[in-house]
Amino acid sequence: MKKLLLIILLLLVTFFFLGAQEDIARFEDEIKTMLAKVSPSLVKVVTENGKRYIATGIALLNDEVITSSLVTRQPFKKIYVETGRGERFQVTVVGEDRPTSITLLKLGKKALTPIRLAGKAEMGDWVALVGAFYNQFPAIFQGLVSSIGPDELILNAPVVPGASGGAVINRNAELIGVIRGSFGVAFNPDYTFRDHSAEIIVHGSKADPRDLCYAVPVKKVLHISELLKKYGRIRRGWLGVNLAEESNRVTSVIEASPAQRAGLAAGDELLEIDGKKVPNAAEIIAVVQASQPGQKVQLKIRRKDQTRQIYVQIGEWRDAKEDFPEEIDITIPELPHVEDIPELKTSLPQIRNFVLEYIGSPQLGVDVLELTPELAEKFKIKEGYGIMVSKTNPDSAARQAGLQAGDIIAKANSRAIRSVADLRRALSALQEKEPLLIELYRDGQAKKISVQPKRQDSFSWKMDKMNQRLKKWQEAEKVYLEKRLYESEQEAQEVEKLKEEKFRKELEKQMAAEKLQWQQEVKKLILEKEKQATELKKKFEEEIRKLKEEQARKEKQEKESGQTL
């Protein structure tokens, strides 16, 4: 019985070792087969204008290619595609969509092989990314689907320059998405500066962008492709309101916008759009932009604790590039008096006799913390919201008026103060020398304090002297730019060559190291399995020897027993 078990164990070890090698070989064959299937549908997209910009393109039809807008955002003199066989075709730009970074190109002839399309992807799916690798084409990488949104896939796979616009495929070489670019994650801000006139938040990347990338799902790609063919651009809905961060509250309404025509006002809260609940700014933006321009939608809003229904006809969102010219003349003309241009009074600093004055905004001189609903309840704030004063600055208006650390501000000039932004808006709305009536809680007791905010220092410049200086700077800059134009083009080409060569060497070095490590691990595994097999063989032989000795001993006993009889 022991002999049989040892033989079975030895066979299992041998089978495991041979099976691992077969799995590796089978996986390599599968990758090569996938690459062979998808390569005829991929092209390298090149734009030229002194420099070459490279991206990857995917043939949706035999004369249509989807690619990344990275190569078409800069002015170019020439654009063409190259196949893996070295064929080159001139193309024209049908249209592009900046938000998704997708451009549709048209060939002059039906010369490409359309890629096969997949239904959808699921989280955890293994995927391959195929595209250009700098100037090399094609290249393949692997990864997993980490996250799925309605308009995006997030993959834990690397993206190198040239791969944008490339294909994300499944094991059947079917397209599930188009590579958009690297992805960085930022959570808490690295640095925050706040006062009552500005708020600056600096986010740093908390994830190496090489570790993750964005891709546009194939369903979204096909939808964008059809719209680009029809309109040459993507028509998105526009409402014309500014919203508080992470809120559904309207902070301002843009003049002559659909929202203004429908009667929306600052302070309104958007609750539903055509029956769909919109609890925050992100939801509102998504629903509005998904609406068609000209579509009439029903808004459910809350205004001064009353709910009402209004109808609005959605406008069309326009890219900033379409609203402004490519080149702007920065020459400063002779400036008129503000009185001659009344509409400038509300949008520019005061200009008198060619003096530009900047008048500082009102300041309380306090540091504050925003309260959560739980803290508001704990401090017994009747309104359920407010901001807490954590510090009053020396010689500030707040300290002179009697504000103290620990005071909780609930209202200012009858405005609800839920955040620092609310207090900033209340201060900005003050007229010259107008006091601010603050309603606060101190030790659980309601109080009212009137504060005369101080204004920041004012600055002024004489515009005639500034004109002269700017003209001198412009002339010097023009001479310098003309001098550097040719040099920079040559330097840029040399730098690109050096970068490509350096990256190629580093990659070859890394791949060689990984290959050596893999070979060492395989060798180590083989040695371990051989050692195990040798030990099993020795045990097996020892058992056989013992069995033989036992058999010989029994035969000897039987023989001796026969002689005794």
Whichever domain contains 441, its CATH number is 2.30.42.10
Pairing of the two strands 408-412 and 387-392: antiparallel
Highest average pLDDT, of 172-181, 346-355, 490-499, 529-538, comes from: 172-181
Task: Calculate the alpha carbon distances from 449 to 37, 290, 382, 440 in Å.
Answer: 75, 47, 18, 8
Strand order in the sheet with 351-352: 351-352, 355-358, 459-462
- Helix, strand, coil percentages in the chain from 3-state DSSP, rounded to 5: 35, 30, 30
Per mean pLDDT, which of 341-345, 353-357, 389-393 is the most reliable? 389-393
Distance CA 65, CA 108 (A): 12
Range list of H helices, 345-462: 373-378, 397-401, 420-428
Distance CA 27, CA 35 (A): 12
Residue 337 — very low, low, confident or very high, per pLDDT cuts 50/70/90?
A: very low
Q: Is the pTM of this model over 0.85?
A: no
Instruction: Identify whether 93 is part of a domain.
Output: yes
Tokens of 32: 């090569």
Say if residue 329's pLDDT is above 70: no
- Give the phi and the psi of residue 432 in degrees, each rounded to 5: -55, 125
CATH number of the domain within which 203 lies: 2.40.10.120
Amino acid in position 411: K
Q: What is the model's pLDDT at position 204?
A: 46
C-alpha distances (whole Å) from 431 to each of 199, 303, 348, 427 are: 22, 25, 17, 9
**Residue at which a domain ends, from 428, 455, 482:** 455
> Which residues face 86 on adjacent strands?
none
Establish if 414 belongs to a structural domain.
Answer: yes
pLDDT in tens, 128-185: 999 888 777 888 888 899 888 767 888 988 787 788 899 999 989 999 999 988 765 4
- In the block, tokens 């809003």 appear at 301
For residues 207 and 262, membership in a common domain is answered with: no
Query: Considering 436, 455, 474, which residue would you say is the last residue of a domain?
Result: 455
The reply to whether 88 and 221 lie within a common domain is yes
- Residue 349 has which token pair? 């600093």
Residue 24 has pLDDT above 80, yes or no: no
* CB contact at 8 A, 332 and 354: no
pLDDT reported for residue 340: 36
For residue 418, tell me if it sits in a domain: yes
Print the SS3 string covering 283-298: HHHHHHHHCCCCCEEE
Tell me: do 194 and 254 sit in the same domain: no
pLDDT band at residue 222 under the 50/70/90 scheme? very high
Q: Which two tokens stand for residue 370?
A: 């925003």
pLDDT band at 202 (very low <50, low <70, confident <90, very high): very low
Query: Confidence band (pLDDT; 50, 70, 90) for 297?
Result: very high
- Residue 335 pLDDT > 60: no
Query: Could you identify the residue written with the tokens 């002559």?
Result: 256
Report which of residues 76 and 515 the model is more confident about. Answer: 76
Q: pLDDT at position 6, please?
A: 59
CA dist 219 and 439 (Å) reads 53
Q: What are phi and psi of 104, to 5 degrees?
A: -105, 125
- 410-422: average pLDDT: 88
**What gap in Å lies between CA 71 and CA 149, rounded to an integer?**
26
- As beta bridge partners, residue 46 has 54, 80
Among the listed residues 42, 69, 72, the one whose alpha carbon sits nearest the alpha carbon of residue 132: 42
Q: In this structure, is residue 62 part of a structural domain?
A: yes
Domain ranges, residue 291: 236-318
What DSSP assignment string belongs to 120-174?
A: ---TT-EEEEEEEETTEEEEEEEEEEEEE-SS-EEESS---TT-TT-EEE-TTS-
Which residue's structure tokens are 């961060």? 245
Q: Are both 308 and 219 inside the same structural domain? A: no
Residues in CB range of 166: below 8 A, 6 or more apart:
42, 56, 58, 129, 130, 131, 132, 178, 179
Q: Which residue has the higher pLDDT, 369 or 332?
A: 369
> 360 vs 545, which has greater pLDDT?
545
Share of the chain above pLDDT 70, in %: 74
Report pLDDT for 95. 92
Task: Give the pair of three-digit tokens for residue 550.
Answer: 């036992």
> Does residue 520 fall inside a structural domain?
no
Residue 59 placed within a domain: yes
Q: Six-digit token pair at 241?
A: 């309101």
- Alpha-carbon span 450 to 341, nearest angstrom: 37
**Residues of the chain with pLDDT > 90: what percent?**
21
Residue carrying structure tokens 């009747």: 382
Do 311 and 375 belong together in one domain? no
157 with 71, same domain?
Answer: yes
Q: Which residue has the tokens 């996938």?
A: 34
Q: Which residue has the higher pLDDT, 429 or 312?
A: 312
176 and 279 share a domain? Answer: no
Alpha-carbon torsion, ordered 257, 258, 264, 270, to 10 deg? -120
Q: Mean pLDDT throughout 468-476?
A: 65
Q: Averaging pLDDT over each range in 132-136, 213-217, 505-509, which range is the top one? A: 213-217
Residue 549 lies in a domain: no
The mean pLDDT of 252-266, rounded to a whole number, is: 90
For residue 481, what pLDDT is reported?
A: 62
85 lies in the same domain as 214: yes
The structural domain count of the chain equals 3
* 7 within a domain of the structure (yes/no): no
Q: Are residues 200 and 250 in the same domain?
A: no
pLDDT for 443 equals 84
Question: Which carries the bigger pLDDT value, residue 326 or residue 311?
Answer: 311
Do residue 86 and residue 147 come from a single domain? yes
Do the beta carbons of residue 208 and residue 195 sit within 8 Å? no
519 CB burial (10 A radius; 0-12, 13-18, 19+): exposed
Read off the pLDDT of residues 400-413 as tens digits, 9 standing for 90 and up.
888 898 899 999 98
Q: Pick from 173, 204, 231: which residue ends a domain?
A: 231
Answer for the pair 161, 105: CB distance below 8 angstroms, yes or no: no
Helix (H, G, I), strand (E, B) or coil at 505: helix
- Cβ neighbours around 307 below 10 Å, total: 11
For residues 416 and 267, membership in a common domain is answered with: no
pLDDT higher than 50, residue 205: no
**Mean pLDDT (whole number) for 1-27:** 58
**Same domain, residue pair 242 and 213:** no
pLDDT at 345: 34
Residue range 243-267: mean pLDDT, rounded: 87
Nearest one of 100, 173, 87, 85 to 130, comparing CA atoms: 173
